[in-house]
C-alpha cells in the first residue's frame, strides 16, 4: 500500500486524513518524521526528549488536522507545531534547572598550532562549543538560526513557520551570527575583523 501512497500529494493525504483515513495520516508521518525529528533534536540535543516531542508533534497534528486550513503547506504547519513544542520544552527545562549558560570552559582553550578552518570543521570539540553557543542564543535568534542554517530552510519558509516576516528572520540571523562570532572568537583564535 505504501507504493500507492508515494504518488499522492501531501494535500490529498491531508484531505483523506481529515476524513479519518489512518493510512493517509501514517503516510504523512512517514514522509515528515525524519525532518521533524532532526529539527526537534537541534533544539533539545537529547534523543529521549526528541523522541517524546516528535511523538507529541504527530499526536497533536493528528488531533487537530481537521482544523488545519490548507492556506499553508502541511509541512509548514507541522514544523510550527514541532518548533513550538520544542521551545515550550526548553522553557520548562530552564524553569526546572535554572538557565544554562554558555560553557565558558570552551572559551579558555587555545587553538592548536596549525589551526585551520578545515580542521576546525572536523573538530568534535569545536562542534560541542558551537552547539553550546547556539544553545545560549536568545530564543528568537536560536529558532531562526536552527531552521535556516541547520535545517536548510529558506528565509521565507522559516518566516512562515515562525509567524514573522522574512526581513525579521534575516535580521535575527545577522544578529545570531554576530553573537556566535563573539562567543567563538576565543576558540578559533580571534579571526581578523
Residues 109-127 have pLDDT tens digits of 444 445 545 554 445 676 7
pLDDT at position 46 is: 92
- pLDDT tier at 103 (50, 70, 90 boundaries)? very low
Does the pLDDT value for residue 78 go beyond 60?
A: yes
190 secondary structure, DSSP code? -
CATH 1.10.1740.10 is held by the domain 8-98? yes
Is residue 49 scored above 60 in pLDDT? yes
pLDDT at 101: 47
Question: For 107-193, CATH number?
Answer: 1.10.10.10
* Residue of 188, 192, 193, 191 whose CA lies nearest to 107: 188
- Contact assessment for residue 180 and residue 149, using Cβ atoms and an 8 Å cutoff: no
Other CB atoms within a 10 A radius of the CB of residue 69 amount to 6
Give the model's pLDDT for residue 158. Answer: 93
Task: Give the pLDDT of residue 70.
Answer: 77
- Cβ atoms of 140 and 168 closer than 8 Å: no
Q: Using alpha carbons only, how large is the chain's radius of gyration in Å?
A: 19
Domain ranges of the chain: 8-98, 107-193
- The more confident residue out of 90 and 155 is 155
103 versus 166: the higher-pLDDT residue is 166
Long-range contacts of 59-67 (CB under 8 A, 24+ apart): 60/85, 62/17, 62/25, 65/14, 65/17, 65/18, 65/25, 66/18
Higher pLDDT: 143 or 2? It is 143
Query: DSSP secondary-structure letter at 112?
Result: P
pLDDT above 90 covers a percentage of the chain that reads: 59
Specify whether the backbone of 20 is left (phi greater than 0), alpha (psi in -120 to 50) or beta. Answer: left
CA angle 126, 128, 133 (to 5 degrees): 90
pTM of the prediction? 0.70
Amino acid at each position: 500500500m505504501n507504493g500507492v501512497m508515494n504518488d499522492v500529494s501531501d494535500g490529498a493525504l491531508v484531505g483523506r486524513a481529515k476524513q479519518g483515513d489512518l493510512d493517509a495520516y501514517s503516510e504523512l508521518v512517514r514522509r515528515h518524521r525524519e525532518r521533524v525529528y532532526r529539527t526537534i533534536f537541534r533544539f533539545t540535543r537529547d534523543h529521549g526528549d526528541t523522541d517524546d516531542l516528535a511523538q507529541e508533534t504527530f499526536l497533536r497534528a493528528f488531533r487537530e488536522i481537521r482544523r488545519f486550513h490548507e492556506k499553508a503547506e502541511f509541512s509548514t504547519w507541522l514544523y510550527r507545531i514541532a518548533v513550538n513544542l520544542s521551545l515550550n520544552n526548553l522553557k520548562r527545562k530552564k524553569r526546572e534547572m535554572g538557565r544554562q549558560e554558555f560553557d565558558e570552559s570552551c572559551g579558555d582553550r587555545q587553538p592548536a598550532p596549525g589551526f585551520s578552518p578545515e580542521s576546525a570543521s572536523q573538530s568534535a570539540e569545536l562542534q560541542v562549543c558551537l552547539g553550546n553557543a547556539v544553545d545560549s542564543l536568545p530564543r528568537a535568534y536560536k529558532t531562526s538560526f536552527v531552521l535556516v542554517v541547520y535545517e536548510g530552510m529558506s528565509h521565507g519558509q522559516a518566516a512562515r513557520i515562525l509567524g514573522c516576516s522574512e526581513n525579521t528572520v534575516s535580521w535575527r540571523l545577522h544578529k545570531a551570527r554576530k553573537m556566535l562570532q563573539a562567543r567563538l572568537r576565543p576558540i578559533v583564535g580571534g579571526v581578523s575583523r
